[in-house]
Amino acid sequence: MRQTSFRRFAVVLMGVVALVAAACGSSSTGSTSSPSVQTLKVALIEPSLRNDLAFSQSMFAALQSLAGPMNLQIAVTDNAFNVTDAANAMHQYAASGYNLVIAHGSQYGGTIQQLAPQFPKTSFAWGTAGVTFGQPNVFAYQANSQEGGYVEGYEAALLSKSKVLGVIGPIDVGDAHLYVVGFKAGALAADPHVTVRVSFTGSFSDTTLMSTAATSYVSQGADVLTGTSQSVVGAIGVAKNKNVAWFGTQWDQSSLASSQVVASQVYDWTGIVKQMVTAIRGGVLGGATYTITLGNDGEKIAYNPSYSLPASVKSGGDGVVAKIISGAITPPTN
């Protein structure tokens, strides 16, 4: 079996080269630098690509915009949908002296819970969830997606002529769950007779399923669609080609279908990040939970300037926003 012995030789050779090179190389060490006014080293770990026009992009964009003004040095490990690899990256960032490790994905929570005690001088931020595990160096942050969902559902019901709305979610968890619940409630509040169809594709990443679901909704007469997760771009493509209105969330999706996207609930994490960074620079590494809402400008309804929205719909929406902020309406979460 010459074939096999060749392969084995190849393998041994590679091993020797690797070990020799590693011995010659330097390993990365670092002590946690004092985070006062010096550059704060921030690491971001997120489950999809940073240009996904949804969840991951929202945090990446927030950090990028703050990097200069707040003197931050940003490192990104994106596409980290495998939790084990993400955990390795988090560990390495913490061990390399990063001051703030942002784990932007609810699946990272268990890892944060175990890692935080090992690195008491590093601050960990976990989103989207509302639990800090009682650790002094863990921040938690979440999004009240149901608020923007409610507003958009309300407007969608008013806007729709066929009175059939289609909602496509990935998996019924986390902020996807909240948004979908809020949307349906808002739609029914605007018009109790509207039909809101809800389905979940079962994947955060499968764009084909989203496209197919969108097509199916359109065939059932839906003239307004919405959905959440990074795979939603597939559904937006269908909305564009079938000229059906789209309401987006997590990021401003107007660019994807400039004549069909009505509005998007944009997550603006800059407020929260500012608070966390300031706290860290003041010596507080965790123990607080932050929520973005319509009230604190963490969530904004971004209207697509290219879409001519009837004034009555917009004022209806604005009215609902005001009521949510004042507390008159509390969109449900389940």
Partner 1 sequence: MSQFFTAAVLTATVASGIQLATPFLLAGLGETMGQRSGVVNLGVDGIMLLGAFSAYFTALKTGNLLLAALAGIGIGVAMGLVTALVSVTLKAEQGISGIGVFLFGLGLTDLLLLKLVPAPATVAALPTVRIPLLDRLPAIGTVFFQQDWLVYFAFLLVPVLTFVLNRTTYGMKIRAVGENPAAADTVGVSVARIRYSTVLIGCALAGLAGAALLLFVGIFQQDLTNSEGFIAVALVYFGAWRPIGVMAGSLLYGMVGSIVLTSKTLGIIPLSGSDIAAMAPAVITVLALLSVARRFRQPAALGRPYERGT
Partner 2 sequence: MRAPGLTRHPRILPAGRRRALLISWLVLPSAAIVALLMGAVLMLVFGANPIVGYQALLAGAFGDSYALTSTAVKAVPLLLVGAGICIAFRANVLNIGGEGQIAMGGLAATATALAVPNLPSPVLIPLTLLAGAVGGGVWGAIPGAFKAYFNVNEILSTIMLNLVAVQFMNYMLSGPLVARSGYAVGGLIPQTQLLSPNSWLPTLIEGTQMHLGVLIALVLAIAVYVLLWRTSFGFRIRAVGLSREASQYAGIAVKPTITWAMTLAGALSGVAGAMLVFGSISHRMVTDGSLTGFTGNAGFNGIVVALFAGLHPLWTIVTAFLFAGLLVGGTSMQVVTGVPSDLVTAINGLVVVLVVSVEYMRRRSRARARAVDMLGPPAAGVTELVRA
Q: Is 215 in the site for partner 1 (CB under 8 A)?
A: yes
What is the C-alpha to C-alpha distance for residues 88 and 171, in angstroms, rounded to an integer?
Answer: 26
- Using CB under 8 A, which residues numbered 173 to 192 contact partner 2? 173-178, 181
- Using CB under 8 A, which residues numbered 275 to 304 contact partner 2? 291
**DSSP structure class, residue 36:** S
Shortest Å distance, C-beta 265 to partner 2: 15
Q: Is 31 in the site for partner 2 (CB under 8 A)?
A: no
Using the rule CB under 8 A, give the single segment among 186-194, 233-241, 267-275, 303-311 that binds partner 1: 233-241
Q: Which does 322 bind (CB under 5 to 8 A by kind): partner 2, partner 1, none?
A: none
User: Which of 217, 247, 269, 290 contacts partner 1 by CB under 8 A?
Assistant: 217
The pattern of x and - marking residues 153 through 192 that bind partner 1 according to CB under 8 A reads -------------x-x---x--------------------
What is the C-alpha to C-alpha distance for residues 12 and 10, in angstroms, rounded to an integer?
Answer: 6
- Using CB under 8 A, which residues numbered 201 to 220 contact partner 2? 202-206
Q: Which does 117 bind (CB under 5 to 8 A by kind): partner 2, partner 1, none?
A: none
Burial class (CB in 10 A: 0-12, 13-18, 19+), 236: buried
What is the C-alpha to C-alpha distance for residues 140 and 103, in angstroms, rounded to an integer?
Answer: 10
**DSSP structure class, residue 263:** E
- Using CB under 8 A, which residues numbered 52 to 71 contact partner 1? 52-53
What is the C-alpha to C-alpha distance for residues 209 and 138, in angstroms, rounded to an integer?
Answer: 36
Nearer to partner 2, 146 or 160 (CB): 146
Whether 127 contacts 290, CB under 8 Å: no
- List the one residue out of 100, 8, 111 whose CA is nearest residue 63: 100
Inter-CA distances, 274 with 1, 116, 147, 230, 279, Å = 63, 21, 22, 25, 8
Burial class (CB in 10 A: 0-12, 13-18, 19+), 186: buried
**DSSP structure class, residue 313:** H
Q: Is 110 in the site for partner 2 (CB under 8 A)?
A: yes
Q: Which does 51 bind (CB under 5 to 8 A by kind): partner 1, partner 2, none?
A: partner 1
Whether 224 contacts 156, CB under 8 Å: yes
User: How many other CB atoms sit within 10 Å of the CB of residue 311?
Assistant: 8
Using the rule CB under 8 A, give the single segment among 7-15, 56-64, 185-193, 218-226 that binds partner 2: 7-15
User: Which of 218, 244, 294, 313 contacts partner 1 by CB under 8 A?
Assistant: 218
Residues that bind partner 1 (CB under 8 A): 48-53, 79, 166, 168, 172, 197-203, 205-209, 211-213, 215-221, 230-231, 233-234, 236-238, 240-241, 255-257
